[in-house]
Amino acid sequence: MTDRPLIAFAGISKTYGNGTLALDDVSFAIRPGVIHAVCGENGAGKSTLMKILFGLEQPTSGSILLDGEAVAIPSPRIAAEKGIGMVHQHFSLVPSLSVSENIVLGQEPRRGAFLDRVAARRRVEELSRRYNLAVDPDATVRTLSVAAQQKVEILKALSRDVRVLILDEPTAVLTPPETDELFDRLRDMRAAGLTILFISHKLREVRALASHVTVLRAGKLAGDAPLAAIDDEAIARLVMGQAAGPALKRGGRVSGTPRVVVSGVHLKARDANDRLEGIDLTVHAGEILGVAGVDGSGQRGLVSLLTGRAQPTTGAITYEGKPTAGLGTAALRRLGLAHLPADRFQDGGSKRMTLVENAIAGAHRLAAFSTGPFLKRRAMETRTEEMIVHYKVRCPGPNAPLSALSGGNAQKLIAAREFATEPHFMIADQPTRGIDVAAAAFLHERLAELAAKGGAVLLITADLDELLTLSDRIVILYAGRIVARLENEPGLTPERLGPYMLGLESAA
Amino acid sequence: MIRSAFASFVITAVLLVLVVGIVLVPIALSLPDPLAVLDTFVFGPFRNPRHTGNIVEMATPAMMCGLAVAVMFRAGMFNLGVEGAFFLGGLATVATVLLVPLPAFAMAPVGILVGAVVGSSVCAVPGYLRARYEASELVSSLMLNFAALFIGLFVVNYFLRDPAAGAMVSFRIPAEAKLPKLIAGTRIHLGTLVALAACGLGAVYLFMSRAGFEARIVGSNPSFAAHLGLPIRSILLRSQVIGGLIAAGAGGIEMLGLYQRFSWQSLPGNGWTGVVVAILARDNPILLIPAALFLSYLQVGGDLIARNFDVPSEAVGLIQALVLVVVTAQAIMRNPRLIRLVTGKKPAAGQAQDTKAVEGSVA
């Protein structure tokens, strides 16, 4: 290992066409053969910086030095030629093609005009052996698990003889055991001489994996240090730009009467992942009931039943003692339902509509926002401006389209809308997935506040830290059944939940 | 929002001018006096008040059909029944004023109202099939246009046909039913004011009313509408009934404004023009007005050179075809709904894959 940096960013700035300053004079260096973490909130500029390194974006000023020489990286193809590979947060695989076809796509071995399948297969097997990443080269990508698809993405990046591998939030989609396996593989790669750039906002993962951390905040370099020389609190301070708030305290909440009771519910669905087979659960007033489980264990089915988008095949759901059979979303919302959907841009809002329209939709028929058949645009705007201030939504203005917001800010606006109805029953489905620490903490406070005021909260999350921080009780779903019911006692750890989530143990 | 829509409107208009130039310049050069051809195309429509009037007359149904399309597109519905609705609306209006004894002052309003209601079925039926059975409104409305055409021709032939006239046309439309002319020397009629008012009301509906807001939510993201618990089916149906009423009303206005007899033997094409106008105007009711005027201007210029020079009428058709390509190509580039329609992909497809993937990991 030499001390000469492999990659150096020198005064990189990036201004977008609309005047947004995404990066502001960022300079730091990455030494070869290390795992280098880049941390920061959403919108801090991590992704932009990585896109610049990978040739997807061009810096407005500043330069990238590769082996001490200034290089221009106008496209991902050039980046690949220079030995830079990237695994995106959202995979770029073709679902209908096989693993080996996906990996060789763009640099196919040919026999005449045709794809040489044997050579492609051999190349994939060799890669898979070299990096100890087991995949079936003939499997169709569509049939693979998310973790396996990620392996394919990594192999695809590695197949271009890379020296630097960029991983953008690779653990967001993985369960704890899958994350551990990924980390082992990444350590192997480092040992084999690869340099890895690891983008994350989970401090625990950064600590476990990386040897050096760079923190970006609001487009500026906030800090850059070897991990040995900096403690978690200092990193958190750099990320958030202020002392992190005190950890949220559970307790002090008194759970009251049963508010939502699900008894003996079965749901037959076309998609096996949505099926439910005999669910019994009760959410009391004033409590947060956490639902854990690997994605696709029936969470979506449960949410569609509780939000009135589907009706149970058998079994019943009551809401404050009243049966909800036959009631649709509108009727349930009138009873006090609110819902933070898992896919915030798909279900939670309309990207092409303005913040005002997104914030008021649903409440637009209230007397506050309409007279007769007409909308009161002024009142809608004023209310939205209040929401923006109260929920600290960073945005260009109330009449900007929702698509102009980062994921975290969009989620805050959606939350502002859903909390505005003072709901009796809130379903928070992956409320902080992919959003920054500060926004997540803010939403956690809102959820806890709602429960403290007597609201019933159903929290569905893949983030076990979040689950353990917020929940009063925890149920674990596996394959459409509840396999464990746990009181969230101080000693409960993510490791204890793992076996239930993977269906290895059952306690219900 | 209107500013960005206006920007893309201007870009498209500039592209159109370029395209027209590419077709027209070589044709002009092949003639003895190329400058006169270009001059006639560009300035001819304004030299004679009658020709300028033609622009406005042509733009009138284009605005209303464009509005009908815009109202339905905004709700996410690619209902092409405007063409059939326009045709049937015109016919039902004429049939009403011919067959129903009405006092003179009531002829035009009652006729147009009946025409609008009858003609709107061409949009409403596909709308109902879509809301109730998820049948593609694009396909069923396209098909129903032809059903409307042949039912219409049947009615003309057996109930309205004037045996004294040499062709398959209706009896004369009574003079009392005609819409008053507004400007002497042109055929511009009261319908133009109705169309302008309709565009204004369309803007109010889409951007200032609760119903229009709900329609736009459904159109821009149906999943979001479902999340909010909006009654999606009735909103879809409502949008298409409104669209049908506007298009069919436009057909009635066209008949009473410009025609002596009902003389359409085939679908008149105003509905298709409406689709082009709506796309050009980015589904914005106010921008429909310049869009319709601009397209009509091109049409009148093309007609003038075809009439006055040795330019094949196909050249004018070619210009119109290229205009269509430019306008729709823009739409494909900017409009994810259209892309989805073209690729046949549903928005939920990505999600389904994810869940299948997870299924693998659990097993």
Domain-terminating residue out of A240, A262, A288: A240
**Beta strand ranges found along A293-405 (DSSP E):** 314-319, 322-323, 337-340, 370-371, 374-375
Q: Is residue A1 part of a domain?
A: no
Q: Confirm if A50 and A35 have CB atoms less than 8 A apart.
A: no
Nearest residue of A to residue B335, measured between CA atoms: A352
Cβ–Cβ < 8 Å for A32, A10: no
Q: Give bridge partners of residue A140 from the DSSP assignment.
A: A98
In whole angstroms, give the CA distance from residue B248 to residue B85: 5
What distance in Å separates the CA atoms of residue A502 and residue B362, rounded to the nearest whole number? 7
What CATH number did the domain enclosing A266 receive? 3.40.50.300
3-state helix, strand, coil in chain B (%, to 5): 80, 0, 20
Kindly give the confidence (pLDDT) of every residue in chain B, 363 residues in length, as a single tens digit, with 9 standing for 90 and above.
455 566 667 777 777 778 778 888 888 888 888 888 888 888 999 999 999 999 999 999 999 999 999 999 999 999 999 999 999 999 999 999 999 999 999 999 999 999 999 999 999 999 999 999 999 999 999 999 999 999 999 999 999 999 998 889 999 999 999 999 998 888 999 999 999 999 999 999 999 999 999 999 999 999 999 999 999 999 999 999 999 999 999 999 999 999 999 999 999 999 999 998 998 888 999 999 999 998 899 889 888 888 888 887 777 778 777 877 877 776 655 555 555 555 554 443 333 333 333 333 333
Of A353, A354, A370, the CB nearest to B210: A370
Residue type, A115: L
The secondary structure element, H or E, covering residue A279 is strand A276-284
Say whether residue B352 is in contact with chain A using an 8 A CB cutoff: yes
Task: State whether A229 and A294 are in the same domain.
Answer: no
Residue A37 belongs to a domain: yes
Give the distance from residue A350's alpha carbon to the nearest chain B alpha carbon, in angstroms. 6
How many other C-beta atoms lie within 10 A of the C-beta of residue A383?
21
| Residue B33: strand, helix, or coil | coil
The reply to whether residue B230 touches residue A330, judged by beta carbons under 8 angstroms, is yes
Cβ of A375 within 8 Å of Cβ of B210? The answer is: yes
- For residue A326, the enclosing domain spans 249-336+423-508
**Helices assigned H by DSSP within A268-311:** 299-306
- How far is it, in rounded angstroms, from Cα A457 to Cα A415? 13
- How high is the pLDDT of residue B337? 57
Residue-range domain boundaries for chain B: 2-6+59-343
Q: How far apart, in Å, are the Cα atoms of A143 and each of A69, A97, A98, A138, A275?
A: 44, 10, 10, 11, 18
**What stretch of H or E contains B189?**
none
Helix (H) or strand (E) run with residue A29 in it: strand A21-30
Give B 173-212 residues with CB within 8 A of chain A: 204, 208-211
Would you state the structure tokens that stand for residue A471, as one six-digit string? 């929940």
> A458 φ, ψ to 5°?
-110, 115
Interface test with B, best of A93, A295, A334 (most B CBs within 10 A): A295
Q: State how many domains chain A has.
A: 3
Residues written for chain B = 363
For residue A491, give the H/E element and its range: none
- Provide, as residue numbers in chain B, all residues whose Cβ is less than 8 Å from the Cβ of A399: 1
Shared-domain flag, residues A123 and A225: yes
Reading the block at residue B131, the tokens are 């809301």
Is A373 close to B230, i.e. CB distance below 8 A? Answer: no
Least Cα separation, residue B229 to chain A (angstroms): 4
Of A184, A208, A240, which marks where a domain is finished? A240
Strands A456-460 and A61-66, by their bridges, are: unpaired
**Pairing outcome for strands A370-371 and A61-66:** unpaired
Given this model, what pLDDT does residue B319 score?
78
The answer for residues whose C-beta is within 8 angstroms of residue B269's C-beta and 6 or more apart is B83
Q: Kindly report the number of other CB atoms within 10 A of residue B229's CB atom.
A: 21
Query: What CATH code would you report for B2-6+59-343?
Result: 1.10.3470
Number of Cβ within a 10 Å radius of residue A390 = 12
Per-position DSSP letters for A211-237, written without gaps between them: SEEEEEETTEEEEEEEGGG--HHHHHH
Q: Could you say which of B209, B220, B221 has the minimum Cβ distance to residue A374?
A: B209
Interface residue A273 vs chain B (CB under 8 A)? yes
Neighbours of A504 (CB within 10 A): 11
Q: How close B78 comes to chain A (CA, Å)? A: 18
Smallest Cβ–Cβ distance between A142 and the set B211, B347, B356 belongs to: B356
Residues of A with CB below 8 A from B220's CB?
Answer: 350-353
Chain B residues with beta carbon closer than 8 angstroms to that of A178: 361
pLDDT of residue B41: 87
- Name the residue facing B213 among A300, A375, A399 (closest C-beta): A375
Tell me how far apart the 2 most distant CA atoms of chain A are, in Å: 74
Contact B1/A346, CB-based, under 8 Å? Answer: no
Contacts of A134 in chain B (CB under 8 A): none
Mean pLDDT, consecutive 10-residue segments, chain A of 508 residues?
78 76 89 90 81 90 90 89 86 86 84 83 87 85 83 86 88 78 89 90 83 88 89 79 51 78 91 87 94 86 93 93 91 94 90 94 92 93 95 89 86 95 94 82 92 93 86 91 89 80 76
Lookup result for tokens 């989530």 = A501
Whole-number Å distance between alpha carbons of B176 and B174: 5
Six-digit token string for B182: 């507004």
What pLDDT does A245 receive?
44
Query: Are residues A332 and A358 both part of a single domain?
Result: no
* CA–CA min distance A193, chain B (Å): 30
DSSP for A64-80, please give it: EEETTEEE---SHHHHH
User: CA dist B88 to A282, B83, B156, B245, Å?
Assistant: 58, 9, 11, 11
Q: Which residues of B292-331 are buried (b: 16+ CB within 10 A; e: fewer)?
A: bbbbbbbbbbbbbbbeebebeeebbebbbebbbebbbebb
Coil, helix or strand at residue B262: coil
Binary contact (B352, A144; C-beta < 8 A): no
Q: First vs last Cα of chain B: how many Å apart? A: 49
Maximal CA-CA distance, chain B: 80
- Cα A129 vs. chain centroid, distance in angstroms? 30
Chain centre to alpha carbon of residue A284? 28
Instruction: Kindly list the residues from chain B whose CB atom is less than 8 angstroms away from the CB atom of residue A350.
Output: 217, 220-221, 224
Give the residue from A364, A395, A422 where a domain finishes. Answer: A422
In a domain, A345, yes or no: no
Verify whether the Cβ–Cβ distance A294 to B362 is below 8 Å: yes
ipTM: 0.81
